[in-house]
Structure 1
Amino acid sequence: MTVDRRTVLRASARLAALAAASGALSACGDSAAPSKPEAQGVSFAARSRPTHLATDGPAATGMPAPGTTPGAPPGAAGSPSASPPPTAEPSLAPGTPDEVVSGPSDRQEVALTFHGQGDPAIATAVLTAAEQRGARLTVLVVGSWLDQQPQMAQRILDGGHELGNHTQNHLDISSMSPEQAYAEIAECADRLQRLTGSIGRWFRPSAAQYANAMVREQARQVGYAHCLSFDMDPRDYTDPGAEVVQRRVLKAVGGSIVALHMGHRGTADALPGILDGLSARGLRAVTASTLCS
């Protein structure tokens, strides 16, 4: 069943329910500031593990401005390719929370997750650098980018990476109404479904580190059981240079989920050194699904 059909089938029931619940939902979703993790638990390993910004000076605050940030990989829907189909990702471990911030800290693995948007040549350089070193990435794509660069969905999968949903337009989803947030998630899911045959396993909110209760509910309505956050933000979207990005990411530890961005040349230039440095420390870069299996 496609996202569009689900939307139609649920529309009348949702409108009636929203009339009764709008006050509670608005209280959860009207803040433009990054949402804080709530009591349900948002870390795969331990909620006490701190979220941190990987900087070289005092800790930075705030999130990237809208338009600047970032399941088992779906099988290709009939698109010919010289590459073999990607290997299916493992099932998530039992008890995986509805929002994952980090993976198990006892694993010698990290997940490098990428905001999927920007110059396709730079994005391809990121993918190629990872593949040359046996690394696998999680790319959370913006739907409007896929409208412009539909070939990138299959290119990502052909490299053995996984695709997820980062909304249609990368706006401040936490400040939206439930209907608006649903549309942002569903429209990107529809692009993924049409291009790959699957909506992907993960949803990451736009312009927020954490999904608030309203956003998590809309993601569930679209079909995402798990939102994907992160516990390391190297702030590569500020273009500090490849050397700085590399130094920041190499502070990762086992179980880290790192937020990076495909459309920045400094990130692409830093990636080979990042992967070599992680390997020298005995850490492998794997997809978020592998880390959380």
Structure 2
Amino acid sequence: MTTPAEDHAAPAPPRRAALLTGLALTAGTLTAGVTAGCSTPRATHARPLSPPPAAPSAPSAAATRGAPALAPAPRRYPDRPADITHGSRTRPSRVALTFHGQGDPAVANSLLGEAEKAGARVTVLAVGTWLDEHPGLARRILDGGHDLGNHTLRHLDINAMSRTDAAAEIQGCADRLKRLTGSIGTWFRPSRSPRASPLVARLAREAGYPHTLSYEVDSLDYTSPGAAAVTRNVLAGVGPGSIVSLHFGYADTVAALPALLHELDRRGLRAVTTTELLS
């Protein structure tokens, strides 16, 4: 499937007040937390890896209250390929909405809240540096009943990297997830590409991820096409067992989600975590 080139514009500063009061009605105006999509990257020249921070920022009091968040460990699915693009077609009521985790945390919280109001559960593939900046979101995702996984440390073009640098991208995010949740997360998805190269897939297995998680439906929300277009893009390709690619950080996605979930429900499709989809 061919997709347009990504928009690599630098994100504008977040505007949480505007987001919280009128996000659904002003989807086309928000630029806070814009992140690059992962479908068809422009050429990217990886910079030499700098040492990771000694420790991530301390979680908020709310994030650390009570028992630590515990994420399930990755599972092997013997009947599934190494690169998973969809679930079973014989369980017609399930689809998985997967979100690339980066951008303004207010947008992330809005998306999670919209999903939970509709009784939906999603899969979040988090960027490691995003977890450094917003460590409380790891707990927020897990407490909502969602899957949490690895989308590399810095969201660079991992397939273009050397073995050493690619391994550091995978392991760097895995380390942060383990520190915050007790697990390396349930899934790994490569950054800046819908598929992992053979090298990256092998490095992911060495880091503890038996499968790489891809998708078969691309919402193209990172192109900011408008909420109606995001909904159309998903509904045009979704079906039983589909895995859908979406992103945190885009107002169009927040505005599209209620209508998207409503239409999925009308079609008899329930949004579940990827783990549940494959169970």
Corresponding position: 1:273 with 2:241: no
Mark the runs of 5 or more structure 1 residues left unpaired by the alignment.
1-51, 53-59, 71-77
Q: Does the aligned pair in 2 maintain the 1:69–1:237 contact within 8 Å? A: yes
Find the aligned partners of 1:292 and 1:63 in 2 and give their Cα distance: 31
Could you tell me which residue of structure 2 aligns to residue 37 of structure 1?
Answer: none
Match of 1:68 in 2: 36
Percent of matched pairs sharing the same residue:
52
Structure 2 residue 39 is matched with structure 1 residue 97: no
> Which amino acid is the alignment partner of residue 219 of structure 1?
A
Are the aligned partners of 1:89 and 1:289 in contact in 2 as well (CA < 8 Å)?
no
**Mapped pair 1:205 → 2:190:** yes
Match of 1:288 among 262, 274, 277: 274
Letter in 2 for 1:64: E
* CA distance in structure 2 between the partners assigned to 1:211 and 1:291 by the alignment: 21
Residue 14 of structure 1 corresponds to which residue in structure 2?
A: none
Structure 1 residues 98 and 198: CA distance shift in structure 2, 3 A:
same
Cα offset, 1:93, TM superposition: 4.4
Aligned 8 A contact 1:236 1:260 in 2:
yes
Contact 1:87 1:160 in 2 (8 A): no
Partner residue, 2:52: none
Q: CA deviation at 1:86?
A: 8.4
C-alpha contact (below 8 Å) 1:99/1:226 kept by paired residues? yes
Structure 1 length-normalised TM: 0.72
Runs of 5+ consecutive residues of structure 2 not aligned to the other structure: 9-34, 39-62
| 1:190-212 CA distance string (max 9 Å, x none) | 11000011001210000111111
8 Å CA contact 1:92–1:292 kept in 2: the answer is no
Structure 2 residue 142 is the aligned partner of structure 1 residue 142: no
* Whole-angstrom CA distance in 1 between matches of 2:179 and 2:71: 20
Does structure 1 conserve the Cα–Cα contact (< 8 Å) formed by 2:85 and 2:243? yes
Aligned to 1:261: 247
SS at match of 1:224: coil
2:267 partner amino acid:
R
Deviation at 1:90, TM superposition (A): 11
The total of aligned residue pairs comes to 227
Q: CA RMSD in A?
A: 2.4
Structure 1 match to 2:48 = none
Alignment CA distance shift 1:226-1:90 (3 Å): closer
2:173 corresponds to which residue? 188
Aligned to 1:74: none
CA distance in 2, matches of 1:86, 1:218: 24
Q: Distance in 1 between matches of 2:120 and 2:73?
A: 14
Query: 191, 196, 213: which one pairs with 1:228?
Result: 213
